[in-house]
Every structure is written in C-alpha cells, then in structure tokens.
Chain A
Amino acid sequence: MTETGLLREDRPRGWNRPPVIKPDGEGELLEVAMGPHHPSTHGVFRMDVALDGERVIRLKPVFGYLHRNHEKLAEGMSYLGSMPYTDRLDYICSLTNNWAYALAVEKLTGQEVPERAEYLRVILGELTRVQNHASSIGFLIQEMGATGTPLMYAFKEREKILDLFESLTGSRMMCNYMRFGGCRVDASAAWLDAVRKVVAGLPEFVDEFDRLLSINEILMARTQGVGILRPELAVNAGVTGPMLRASGVNYDIRKVDGYGIYNRFNFRVPLGDHWDVYDRFMIRMLEIRESIQILTQALKDIPSGPVMDPKAKIRGFRPKPGEAYGRIEAPKGELGFYLISDGGPNPYRYRVRPPSLINLTILEDMCLGQNVADVVLIFGSVDIVLGEVDR
C-alpha cells in the first residue's frame, strides 16, 4: 500500500452527522435513505434525503455500489481489448459507447474512417438514440405510477431495433461493433432494407406515443413546474444532452463538433422553454423525431465501399506517444474518452467522461424544496444508467 499520509480519519464520514435539527430548532428532520434497493434508482444508487414533512431539505447522492474500476482494467489491456468493456458502461446504448471510444482512438492515431462505415455509425447511433429515449420515457412514466403499459409500448419498438442490432452485430445489447478506423462487419442489403422498414414504422409509433402521453392530464400535473434547472447553472455544472437542451441551451455536439458526417444531415435541435421535468420528457420525444429524420437521410445516401480503413493496423496496435480527448453526443449527454499513450500496446491513461455521473451533480439543486414523491420523478428525468455512473 502507498503511504500517502492523506487518509484523514477525522474527515466527516457520512453527510448525516451531527443529527439534523430543523432550521427553526423545532424537532428533527426525517432522514430517509432512498436506495440502494429502491426500485426507481435503475440499479444500486442511494440518495440520503432529509425531509421536513414532505419537503426535501437536503439530498446527498451516494455512489460506488457498482464500481469495478473500469479505467484501471482498461489500462491493463490492449486498446482493442477494452472495446467490449465499453458496452458495459451504458448498457442501454452500447453502440454509442463503442463509437465514442473508437473516435477517441482515431483522434489519437489520426486514422481515417471510410464513408460507408461513417454512415453505418450514424444509422446505428441514431437507432440507439431512438430506443434509449423511448425506453427512458417509458421508465419515467413507470416511476410516475403507470406501471407497465407505457413502458411496454416503448419496449415493443425497442425490441425491433434490438433485433436489428442482433442480426448485424450478433448481440442485442453488448454489440462490440465499432473498430478503430471503421466497423467490424459490413451490413448486407437485406439488413439495410430491414432497417428501412423499421424506420418507416417509427413515425407512427412516435405519433401514437405522443398522443397517449404528452397531453395526459396526470403526467402534466406531476411534471410541469417540477425540478426546474436554470440554464446558467446547467452549463456551469456540466450538464449535457437532453437535460441541457431542456434547460434552453442550444448545445448539441452533433452540431457543434460535427463529428463523423453529422454536418451532412438536416435536423433541428429541440430546446426547452420551462426547464422542468415535462420539458425533459418532451425534448426526448422531439429528439426521436429528429433522429428519424437523420435515419431517413442516411439510409437514402449510404454508399457502397469498404467498412474498414485498409491501412488500419489490428495486430501490434501501438499509437505514438501523445494524448487525445474525443467526445460524442451520446443519448444521455456528452460521452468522452481521454487517452494518453506512451507508445506501448496499452493505454497509459484511459478515462471515461460519463454523462450520467456528471448530470447528477445538480440533483440536489433540482430536488430542494420539492416533495419527496417528486424526487423519484426528477431523478428519472435525468436518465442515468448505473453501469456508467459507477464504472
């Protein structure tokens, strides 16, 4: 063990001592540990909440129940070796994780990606976004108490997309498909036709989903004006993705960086107006529609050709010393990979910038003064996956 001299025993351990007295001195607050086995936490995550009646006075998130030190594991294996592990970060959207990692390594080595592979990446990335947003809306509604039905509507569509993933990559969720300088296998014409068929059915699904939910009275009553996040705080706290755009900040990395070939497509960036949970729900609904636009254009334009950079080195892959930070707009926010190479076969430093963890930074700010029942909703509207939060 290293001798650091830094392990301060006197550092306050939990946040919850000394005993919490109400600010006016009358009586004590009720302390509730929501989680780690609370069904709404999407995994093992704890919120230590202090309540004054129903009102939230304090909320401290507790992490680490799913920590396996992904970064240390990746430093001990080859660059390609950690590609399958990126699937396990945000296991709902494994393909965008693959993409972010491949993009960072391509920045590090300066590799080119063939045209067809770029189109395949966009198609798979947008399909991932559609199924992530649909199921995250389903989970949000489920946490509101509508058990099952809306979620099953979302899962019905998600299943079709996962079937497409399975027929192309061999796995529904752990796809492990992208490679440095392209994609692992080429898509057949039959697969592309199957995608066209699914994409053609998506607008109908979104319309139905929208009609069922968006003007639902209970949903509006529960979500409007709840969990407001001001744009200045959102930017300062590093919130990204649909959360940031629901706070009215026009920042979509697909537009800003134009990574891959995103600047070839026409799509709009929906923005929120009231910065509350309803806006976050609505932004996801609208983003599904924009993803369908991108998918339609990409499926029309996809060229033929190779899917791997012919000069790409598979065996003995050793990038030159240096470092690179690559990021993409994953469905949950900005997913970045920071890599330092020392010229060896393993990355010297491998860092995942997890959108789920950093979007939780302002959870307390959004929940203060709200009812305890709304904490579940606000937390659900952040849209996290614990595999990525704890890594």
Chain B
Amino acid sequence: MKTVEEIKAAIEAALPGAGVEIAPNPSPSGQHSLRLAPDRAVEVATFLRDELAFDYLSNATGVDWPDKEIAEKVKVTHQVTKTIDGVEQFIEETVEETRKRVEPGYLEVVYHLYSVEQKQGPLTIRMRTANRTSQVELPSLTPVWRSAEFQEREIFDLYGIVFTGHPDLRRLLMWPEFKDHPMRRDYVEPDDFEWEPTAHDAVLTRAVARRAGKEAGQ
C-alpha cells in the first residue's frame, strides 16, 4: 500500500494544480486522508480509479462542523498616561484580554476507497463545502463509482449537501415533504410528541399547553 504522501505526489505529477492536501489523523488507526479541491475532484477521482486501481468506493458519509466560537487569550500592549511622582508619563502596559473569534463552519464528505484489484486500502478522501448555509454544493462522485449513488442521496437527505452531477438526487430515508436535515448538529426535533402512541404525563402536559396557546392565538 502506498502512503498518502506517495499518492499525493502521483496525483500532482499527473494533474498539476489539483489542489490535494493531506489531512493528518492523530489516532492510532493512522488512516490519514487526502483533501480534494471540489472543482477538480471528479478528475482526481477518475485518476484514482483508473491509474491507481482504487476501483471500489466502500463508504461515503457526511460530517457537520458547525461554527465554532473560540476564546483566545491575547496579550495586548496599551499606552497609558499615568502620573508618577507628580509628572505625567506615557507608560506601556501589557494586559491580557480574552478575544472571541468565530471559526466558520462547513460540511464535509468523507469517502473510503479500496482496491479490489490490488487488495489495498483504505484511502480516505474528503471534500469541504464553503459554508453550511448557502454554498453547500459539491461534485458528485457517482459517475466515477456507482456505490456512491444511494450514499450521496443519504448525505443530501440527512446533511443537506447538494451533489452536482448526481443522476437522481432525492431524499433517501426521510419522506419527500420533510423540510430539514436531521443529522446536522443544530437540528431541533419538532415538538410533535403528542402523536406518540404511549404519550406520557409530561408530553401530554406540553401538548395541552400548546393546544391552549394555539387557541389563545386565534
């Protein structure tokens, strides 16, 4: 089995400027992955299948990385006017401040490739969307590997990643009228528990309160 570095070098030799990066994996499994640039992903995937014999896509899945608020402690130097011994002086003073910065979130797809021909694997490849709300389109790898067909439909259904070039992108597990993407980290379950077959006390209380609220609203 070639290492990810060797595979990356092979891709870059064949497709210059393909934008492949290595994403290291610190766990003992040692399964490092390659991050592809979405605009050339199909090209790279075809190369992996035809030239490096990764003919079998085993697993395709999505991961949601929401916006992260990171609090950092930064040392800041101010110029302060202070009166020392009756004389006004400018003094530089170093203060520690906590600054908050928001790291924008994104959605990610992860594919695990194996080679049936050479009995090798796994090679993990991943792609990121630009953000989580408006630009969530990624190229579909179904034209390269058929096994991505239902799995990409499932990712579209549960994560809301839109795969361009997919032959039949519909919801797979949820019903067509459903409006949300349940595997996202910020998904809120709808409050319809009164439909539970064995609704219990707290649920019933909530349902009654909701019904009362609805009537009052009308």
Contacts and interface: CB of A to CB of B under 8 A. Distances in A.
A280 B145 CA distance: 23
A321 B23 CA distance: 13
Contacts of B25: 322-323
B162 interface: yes
B215 interface: no
Scoring B112, B148, B150 by chain A CB atoms within 10 A of each residue's CB, the highest score goes to B150
A375 to B, nearest CB: 18
A318 interface: no
Interface string B43-63: 000000000000111110101
Interface stretch (B13-21, B84-92, B180-188, B200-208): B180-188
Interface string A322-362: 11111100000010101011000000110101000110111
A361 B147 contact: yes
B160 interface: yes
A251 B119 CA distance: 8
A336 B58 contact: yes
A321 B63 contact: no
Report the interface size class on chain A.
35 or more
Contacts of B58: 238, 327, 334, 336, 353
A5 B55 CA distance: 35
Interface stretch (B3-11, B34-42, B169-177): B169-177
A238 B27 contact: no
A249 interface: yes
A63 interface: yes
B99 interface: no
A323 B61 CA distance: 13
Contact of A351 (B31, B61, B147, B172): B61
A1 B179 contact: yes
B116 interface: yes
A146 interface: no
B160 A4 contact: yes
B94 interface: no
A203 interface: no
A5 B112 contact: no
B27 A320 contact: yes
A238 B182 contact: no
B173 A390 contact: yes
Report the interface size class on chain B.
35 or more
A144 B184 CA distance: 43
A251 B182 contact: no
Contacts of A391: 173
Nearest to A365: B146
A239 B116 CA distance: 11
Given A327-B58, A336-B112, A351-B61, A2 B180 contact: yes
Interface in B150-194: 150-151, 158, 160, 162, 168-176, 179-184, 186-188
A12 B122 contact: no
Given A1-B180, A64-B175, A323 B59 contact: no
Interface string A28-46: 0000000000000000000
B109 to A, nearest CB: 11
Given A321-B27, A322-B25, A361-B149, A64 B172 contact: yes
Contact of A5 (B134, B173, B174, B188): B134
Interface stretch (A102-110, A205-213, A305-313): A102-110
Contact of A361 (B132, B146, B171, B184): B146
Nearest to A325: B112
Contacts of A349: 61, 63
B172 A107 contact: no
Given A6-B136, A15-B168, A362-B146, 19 more contacts: A2-B184, A2-B187, A7-B179, A12-B170, A64-B171, A72-B182, A236-B55, A237-B149, A238-B58, A238-B145, A322-B25, A323-B25, A336-B112, A338-B110, A340-B63, A341-B27, A351-B59, A357-B150, A360-B150
Interface of B: 25-29, 31, 55-59, 61, 63, 110, 112, 116, 119, 122, 124, 132-134, 136, 145-151, 158, 160, 162, 168-176, 179-184, 186-188
26 contacts: A1-B180, A1-B187, A2-B160, A2-B180, A3-B133, A5-B133, A6-B160, A13-B170, A63-B173, A64-B173, A69-B183, A107-B27, A109-B27, A110-B27, A235-B116, A236-B146, A237-B147, A321-B26, A323-B29, A324-B31, A325-B112, A336-B112, A338-B59, A341-B27, A348-B63, A361-B150
